[in-house]
């Protein structure tokens, strides 16, 4: 099937613009982004050779004229320049390696000797950590610690399945009377009367997300970010309850 050529004099519809931008991001921009933390150490004269590719793609996707300012293209297509994109992705990579305690590059730093060497020769390209620290200093983010992320040491296929007691597996909430469900629950509590009951719940409302945990007579509630779904809130409630149980003396 042959594709019709693009007519530069015909305005591009918003739906076509969105599709073209997605194709560009998936097919071309992803390749430009790949490894930018490494090749970002090249001199600016070499890195600027990638800018015409980026600008030409934005002009085609937006249907802008060749004389349109570059800044207008960025605003119209909701895209940033390649230099800012390289800084953003380099910062993400830096924070990622800093959050992994056993990462081989986590503890690397430049000695004072090499620091004075690069200060005396500004044209020399600095190592990755030195470039990122200068960038953080310019952003006034130089003095802070990065929290290490917990790594799951067991692959999912080697974790034993959790055994659950499905009290209500055979009953549908819409088709079963609440009295029957209560009787089943009370029977279960009577059978395990010597155990401490822990209740968890997560909820989501417009602009608000939170979870609650009840252990005996103690009630705990916490708010979460709006980006959390109700399933994530439920999972956070269970995680919080397990943490409270692990710290309990009983």
Quote the CA–CA distance of 213 and 216 in Å, as a whole number.
10
* pLDDT tens column, 147-164: 787 766 777 777 777 788
Calculate the dihedral angle through the C-alpha atoms of 166, 171, 177, 181, rounding to the nearest 10 degrees: -10
**Which pLDDT tens digit goes with each residue over 89-130?**
998 988 888 888 777 777 777 666 666 777 777 777 777 777
User: Strands across the sheet with 208-215, in order?
Assistant: 198-205, 208-215, 218-224
Residue boundaries of the structural domains of the chain: 17-139, 178-249
pTM comes to 0.57
């Amino acid at each position: 099937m042959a594709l019709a050529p693009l007519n530069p004099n015909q305005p591009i519809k918003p739906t076509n613009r969105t599709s073209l931008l997605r194709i560009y991001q998936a097919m071309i921009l992803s390749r430009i982004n790949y490894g930018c933390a490494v090749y970002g150490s090249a001199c600016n004269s070499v890195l600027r050779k990638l800018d015409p590719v980026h600008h030409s793609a934005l002009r085609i996707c937006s249907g802008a004229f060749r004389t349109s300012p570059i800044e207008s293209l960025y605003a119209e297509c909701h895209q940033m320049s390649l230099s800012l994109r390289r800084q953003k992705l380099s910062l993400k990579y830096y924070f990622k390696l800093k959050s992994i305690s056993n990462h081989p590059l986590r503890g690397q730093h430049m000695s004072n000797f090499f620091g004075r060497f690069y200060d005396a020769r500004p044209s020399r390209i600095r190592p990755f950590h030195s470039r990122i620290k200068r960038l953080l200093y310019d952003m006034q983010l130089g003095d802070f610690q990065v929290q290490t992320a917990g790594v799951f040491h067991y692959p999912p296929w080697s974790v034993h399945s959790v055994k659950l007691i499905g009290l209500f597996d055979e009953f549908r909430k819409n088709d079963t009377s609440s009295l029957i469900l209560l009787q089943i629950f009370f029977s279960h509590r009577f059978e395990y009367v010597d155990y401490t009951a822990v209740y968890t719940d997560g909820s989501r409302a417009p602009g608000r997300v939170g979870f609650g945990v009840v252990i005996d007579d103690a009630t705990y509630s916490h708010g979460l970010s709006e980006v959390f779904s109700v399933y994530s809130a439920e999972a956070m409630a269970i995680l919080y309850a397990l943490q409270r149980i692990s710290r309990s003396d009983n």
